[in-house]
């Protein structure tokens, strides 16, 4: 067997082992969250979820990670469609990496990959959260809002 075919087979075998477990683990929490907050969302007519970076962005982690994050985005779209007739808005905030005293090399490498040249501060998400939870987004549901310093714009 040549090296390319062998590597491809190894990747498929690894993906077959890893993706189901990772995706199930990462999808179970958001699904349980949706079930748990349904009464609050239905009463208030507002809902907001988060997933780091963007469910459409594939980057340097195991295959299960972006698969699960895309699942969070699309589960939220499903919830938006399902609860929309009850005037519930469900949108997703997709934040970029937040600086939290990571190792300096990591923060520097991350900053080089981001058009804004830095990691986020926790307060960088305040405006988007206020917008998504306020009446300013009254006709917005089923959307994924990336606040990532341009990470997904590449």
pTM: 0.64
Domain that holds residue 36: 3-153
- pLDDT digit of tens for each residue in the chain (154 aa)? 555 555 556 656 766 776 677 666 666 776 677 777 777 767 776 555 444 544 444 445 666 677 778 888 988 898 889 888 888 899 999 999 999 999 989 999 999 999 999 999 999 999 999 999 999 999 999 999 999 999 888 7
Which of 91, 78, 95, 98 lies closest to 134, judged by CA? 91
| Domain harbouring 29, CATH code | 3.40.50.720
Q: Which residues participate in catalysis according to the annotation?
A: 65
């Amino acid at each position: 067997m040549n090296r390319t075919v062998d590597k491809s087979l190894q990747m498929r075998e690894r993906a077959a082992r890893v993706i189901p477990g990772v995706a199930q683990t990462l999808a179970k929490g958001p699904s349980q969250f949706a079930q748990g907050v349904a009464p609050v969302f239905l009463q208030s007519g507002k809902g907001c979820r988060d997933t780091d970076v963007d469910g459409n962005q594939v980057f340097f982690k195991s295959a299960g990670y972006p698969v699960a994050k895309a699942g969070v985005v699309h589960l939220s779209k499903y919830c938006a469609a399902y609860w929309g007739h009850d005037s519930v808005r469900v949108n997703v905030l997709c934040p970029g990496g937040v600086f939290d005293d990571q190792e300096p090399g990591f923060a520097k490498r991350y900053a080089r990959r981001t058009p804004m040249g830095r990691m986020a501060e926790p307060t960088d998400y305040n405006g988007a959260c206020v917008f998504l939870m306020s009446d300013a987004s009254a006709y917005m549901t089923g959307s994924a809002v990336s606040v990532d310093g341009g990470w997904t714009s590449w």
